[in-house]
Amino acid sequence: MKNIFTPRPLLVGITLAVALPLAAVAQDKEPVKIALVTSQSGAFATMGADVANGIKFAVEEANAKGGIDGRKIMLAEGDDESTPEAGRRVAEKLAREGHKLIIGPITSSISLAISQNLGRWDAAFIGTISKADRLTQDACSPRFVRTNHSDAMDLAMIDEWAKTLPGNNFAIMAADYVWGQDSAKSFEAAVTAQGKKVTTKLFAPLGTKVYAPYIQQLKNAKVDAIWVADVSGAIAFAKQAADFGLIGQTPLIGHALLSNFIVDATGNALDNVPGNVGYTPDIDTEQSKAFAAAFKAKHNRLPSDTEGQAYNGAMVLFQGVQLAGSTKPLDVTKALRGAEVETLYGKATVRAEDNQLLIPNYIARVKTADGVLRPVIEQSYPASIIPPASPLCKM
């Protein structure tokens, strides 16, 4: 049946007369220029693709709703090649080209290389993945805001979780760079505070492909469980640990081991492995449910932990622009400092002393849910257990 309704010409004219000035006003506002700096190549390329997915989804969603404060969001991408030097170089290039709101780096070493240069570039940086405490301690900056869990936040949770861990004798298998070393120290401190011990500590250089020598040492150690903190090598380690019978002999405990891309790439090797997670769709907030539903509608799957954390960082960045009424980098981070913002974790505060977002933390276990093997939250820990800001941060 034909639609017989025809709008009156006068009404159409009025609609256009109202709409055009509004559009002109929006176009007059300076756009929000964001530099997406993440790993398109190198050891963290798989994780980098998830970071890019989460941020691009947030940008597309915001632009579809008219942008931020009437400002269109413009995204420029750069490959940090999974190395600090390349990360610093590409971040500087994009900042000098006008994309001064930086987001996306994965490793703490890359984030540190960028954060130390923000003043020189007149840029700002929203950290969404990197955990190293230095970023909000002696290397803190009024231009840097972290929206994910720091090592100190994870340690506060691990201190509580360690009380429930079975066994008394542990080993550590960690990546040999700043985050892996911090993770190892954190876990050892947590278990020794409970009167337990760590008898074996192994550190694998970035780029390690063959873990057989480490696996043999871990088998010989005959410990109760192994703390694993090696994101870039996690897939190779988990596969080889399963092949050589280590997982069947000794349980694994993961720090950032339960990322979806690692679970997906290792078959059933990580089934029933517990560990911390930064985000899962199980987080019971209106914001998380809305994000997960919208993401699934577009991609026909639930978002990964990395995509969720990246999206959350973009949420906070957009609110900084809104609160500041400006796209100037320092204005944005100043507006966020001490502010209460909407996040995937519910309403949360950006701590004024160090620009750390204070959010709950989670322990999950890999199991089948929603038809796939993925981390499922078992225990949540409130933001109230987070330790105070470090006195080393001078902003």
Count of C-beta atoms within a 10 Å radius of residue 203: 17
Render pLDDT for 119-171 as a digit per residue (tens, 0 to 9). Answer: 999 999 999 999 989 999 999 999 999 999 998 998 899 889 988 899 999 99
CA torsion sign, 56 to 60 to 61 to 62?
Answer: positive
In the numeric block, the tokens 């959010």 are attached to 359
- Of 133, 62, 61, 143, whose CA–CA distance to 335 is shortest? 143
For residue 66, the model assigns a pLDDT of: 96
pLDDT at position 182, please? 83
Contact partners, residue 120, CB within 8 Å, separation at least 6: none
For residue 231, give the nearest of 202, 251, 260 by alpha carbon: 260
pLDDT per residue over 157-207, tens digit each? 988 998 889 999 999 999 998 788 888 988 998 899 889 999 999 999 988
Reported residue count of the chain is 395
Q: For the chain, list residues with pLDDT below 70.
A: 1-27
Domain residue extents for the chain: 28-149+282-359, 153-277
SS percent in the chain: helix, strand, coil, step 5 = 45, 20, 35
Determine the CATH number of domain 28-149+282-359.
Answer: 3.40.50.2300
Are both 28-149+282-359 and 153-277 of the same fold? yes
Classify domain 153-277 at the CATH superfamily level: Response regulator (3.40.50.2300)
Give residue 46's pLDDT: 92
Quickly list DSSP for 275-332.
EEES--TT--SHHHHHHHHHHHHHHSSPPPHHHHHHHHHHHHHHHHHHHHTS--HHHH
CB 284 within 8 A of CB 382: no
CA distance 141 to 115: 7
Would you say 280 and 375 are in contact if contact means Cβ atoms under 8 Å apart? yes
Cα atoms in the 13 Å half-sphere on the side-chain side of 58: 30
Quote the Cα angle for 360-362-363, to 5°. Answer: 160
d(CA 205, CA 213): 13
Q: What is the pTM of this model?
A: 0.88
